[in-house]
Amino acid sequence: MDSVKVLPGKGKEITVERTAVAHINPKNCVNCGTCRELCPMEAISESQRVICRICPECTEQDAMTFDEMYEFTTKAACTTGCPLGISPQGYINLTRTGKLEEAYKLVWDKNPLPSVCARICHHPCEQVCKRGVLVDEPIAIRSIKRYLGEKTTFRAEKYPRLYEERIAVIGAGPAGLTAGQYLSRAGYEVTVFESATEAGGMLKRGIPEFRLDRSVVDEEVTNLENAGLAIRLNERINKHSLEKIQKEYDAVIVAAGAPNSKELKIEGWRLSGVMTAMDFMEQVNHRQEIRRHPGQIFNLGGEVVVIGGGSVAIDTARAALRMGATKVTAVCLECDEEVPCHPWELKEAEDEGITLIQSHSPTRFVGTYPKLEGVEVCKVTSFSKDGKGKISCELDENDTMTIKADWAIVAIGQAPDTMWSSLKGDRVYFAGDISKSACSVIDAMASGRKVALNVDTDLRGRTLKDPMDTHELHSAPLSEKIYPYNRRKSIRPEIPMLAAESRIHSFDEVEGGFDDEAAQMEVLRCLRCGYQVVDEERCIGCGICQRECPEGDVITMEPVAKGGEK
Ligand code: SF4
Ligand code: SF4
């Protein structure tokens, strides 16, 4: 037997006798990261293989020196790209080996809204996928996640309650639901208070159905309820009810989002026909007639100008088209790479016939009271944004034009309710849009996760570190080098999309999912860049990694004799 010093827990250092150390077989490891996160000794870390870019057989891209190849090795990988810390390599390769349920579970354990994210996440993991950065196109990670959601029949089981403490979450949007899931799984009773008639927050109010079918959100919410989350709808929280909640619960997480669209109070902003994106999208999503004022109904066949260049503006423009607008023009201050929406969002909008006029600022709404007739815009000659997102720009006042408009929809950002700004207290936490402006869905969820970990740490006095904070990439030895030439050479399958001409007449989901053949082709393109390695000096041989590894034949416990000999 051999002995290892255990790292101090709560100020106590102990030494344990070990009889074995774990060994991970890099060939079979799918790099799901489960063992690394569970290891109580932080003895497991991730190694990334060097991807060879020397000779032209490997890729059609420029050759790289060894130093350059090494630099890319530990810079980023799909396993560090997900804001929730999920390992795409893990679920891609569990899919490859036919373990679809395990693959889906790997996602669900950290992401309570897998099928939602499989449709609307801006997939930062794909942006750092090494196949995309170094070889050809990134793995279609988001589509593989969608495939798993469509192929599996996962039903969550109730998490056991372990602790007395009760947690209140205000807001059943992505941040609140994520915080709720993490704390339910940790063993707390969690109640989510939602002011609307249904859970989902912005997923239901702001995101159009042609990007996210409502039934997908409902199914994920049902799963969370099955897991133990109590969601109380129609509960609008005011100062009085908040005080009551603070007394009754041991911690309060405010994840109420930023539901109020900012208004653009320039000349003519009260003309009939000017409205905010949130008002518009909420009415579209609830299938109501669009009204700016009583008596005025969205003019089917009219021309629409959307002000803003972010994702909400593009969604709004595309929704206006589906509501019957004959012409939709969006206008934004930014130009080229500065345009805040994602390039694929703009491409899909342009395919549908929407025009984005860049580098222009609205200066007034034009019309004969009460009716809007156009939007005057002025050329932006310089644009900048500081670290806090504050915009400064200069305009050329001699360079203006008026765009004809029956409706102008303002999509220049959202703000939280002011009542939360004065809320204080020992066990009060803020998550999502309310804590950070202009959050994407996945960033809001990541914020919910982080807050949940903080609540658990504070309530339990834990000293364990967040596995995402200790996740580092190391270089694997050269013997593990990947030669892309040897790996499967195939192009990324097309993601099915409805044709632009037909899709603008309905709210059907534009993007479709992979069939079995496309999914299997795609998982084979993964280069399997990383694997986990055990630090034998730290391993105490507890075997938890071997028990929890979802792949067989990966971890062996190798006996050690006294003095450390194997
Ligand atoms: S090729 Fe596979 S393992 Fe490598 S970064 Fe892309 S998805 Fe991850
Ligand atoms: S050893 Fe097993 S648990 Fe650890 S990353 Fe590899 S496949 Fe996952």
Peptide bond into 370 cis (omega under 30): yes
Give the model's pLDDT for residue 434: 87
Which has more confidence, 467 or 498? 498
Q: Are residues 112 and 215 located together in one domain of the fold?
A: no
CA 291 to chain centre: 32
Residue 520: partners with Cβ closer than 8 Å, 6 or more residues away: 96
Q: What confidence category does residue 386 fall into, taking pLDDT thresholds of 50, 70 and 90?
A: confident
| Residue 414, strand partner residues | 261
Q: Are residues 364 and 420 located together in one domain of the fold?
A: no
Give the model's pLDDT for residue 438: 59
- Give the mean model confidence (pLDDT) for residues 213-229: 97
Q: Are residues 431 and 450 located together in one domain of the fold?
A: yes
Is the CB–ligand 1 distance for residue 149 below 6 Å? Answer: no
Supply the DSSP symbol for 487.
S
Query: How much of the chain, in percent, has pLDDT values that exceed 70?
Result: 95
In a domain, 346, yes or no: yes
Give the model's pLDDT for residue 1: 52
Of 75, 78, 80, 96, best ligand 1 pocket probe by most atoms within 8 Å of the beta carbon:
78
Beta pairing class for 327-331 and 303-307 = parallel
CA distance 561 to 4: 13
Amino acid letter, residue 254: V
Give the model's pLDDT for residue 363: 97
Q: What confidence category does residue 263 fall into, taking pLDDT thresholds of 50, 70 and 90?
A: very high
Give the model's pLDDT for residue 5: 64
In a domain, 520, yes or no: yes
In a domain, 160, yes or no: no
Q: Are residues 361 and 284 located together in one domain of the fold?
A: yes
Looking at residue 401, which CATH number applies to its domain? 3.50.50.60
- Which residue, by CA, sits nearest to atom 4 of ligand 2? 35
Q: Are residues 52 and 186 located together in one domain of the fold?
A: no
Taking the centre of ligand 1 as the mean of its atom positions, its distance from the CA of residue 541, in whole angstroms, is 30
Q: Are residues 201 and 121 located together in one domain of the fold?
A: no
Supply the DSSP symbol for 262.
P
Q: Are residues 392 and 363 located together in one domain of the fold?
A: yes
Q: Are residues 408 and 371 located together in one domain of the fold?
A: yes
CA distance 43 to 557: 14
**In degrees to the nearest 10, what's the CA dihedral of 242, 245, 250, 256?**
-50
Q: Are residues 249 and 381 located together in one domain of the fold?
A: no
User: pLDDT (tens digit, 9 = 90+) per residue, 70-124?
Assistant: 888 999 999 999 999 999 999 999 999 999 999 999 999 999 999 999 999 999 9
- Give the mean model confidence (pLDDT) for residues 176-183: 98
- Which residue, by CA, sits nearest to atom 4 of ligand 1? 529
User: pLDDT (tens digit, 9 = 90+) per residue, 278-321?
Assistant: 999 999 998 877 776 666 676 667 899 999 999 999 999 999 99
CA distance 322 to 352: 10
**What is the extent of the structural domain holding 330?**
262-413
| Residue 327, strand partner residues | 303
Q: Distance from first CA to last CA of the chain, Å, rounded?
A: 10
- Which residue, by CA, sits nearest to atom 2 of ligand 1? 526
- Which residue, by CA, sits nearest to atom 2 of ligand 2? 549
Q: Are residues 306 and 407 located together in one domain of the fold?
A: yes
Q: Are residues 450 and 539 located together in one domain of the fold?
A: no
Give the model's pLDDT for residue 12: 67
If you write DSSP's letter for every residue of 495-551 in order, what string do you get?
PPB--HHHHTTS-S-SB----HHHHHHHHHH----EEEEE-TTT-----HHHHH-SS
Q: What radius of gyration do the chain's Cα atoms show?
A: 26
Is the CB–ligand 1 distance for residue 529 below 6 Å? Answer: yes
Give the model's pLDDT for residue 421: 82
User: pLDDT (tens digit, 9 = 90+) per residue, 315-339?
Assistant: 999 999 999 999 999 999 999 999 9
In a domain, 161, yes or no: no
In a domain, 285, yes or no: yes
Query: Which one of the ligands is nearest to 35 CA?
Result: 2
User: pLDDT (tens digit, 9 = 90+) per residue, 149-169?
Assistant: 999 998 999 999 999 999 999
Alpha helix segments (H runs only) across 76-160: 78-81, 88-96, 100-108, 114-120, 124-128, 130, 141-151
In a domain, 501, yes or no: yes
CA distance 479 to 65: 17
The residues lining ligand 2, judged by C-beta closer than 6 Å to any ligand atom, are 24, 29-35, 532, 549, 551, 554-555
Characterize 238-269 residue by residue with b for buried, 16 or more Cβ atoms within 10 angstroms of its Cβ, and e for exposed.
Answer: eeeebeebbeebbbbbbbbbbbebbebebebe
Give the model's pLDDT for residue 562: 62
Predicted-assembly ipTM surpassing the 0.85 threshold: yes
How many structural domains does the chain have?
Answer: 3
Taking the centre of ligand 2 as the mean of its atom positions, its distance from the CA of residue 452, in whole angstroms, is 25
Six-digit token string for 397: 């006042």
In a domain, 522, yes or no: yes
Q: What confidence category does residue 13 fall into, taking pLDDT thresholds of 50, 70 and 90?
A: confident
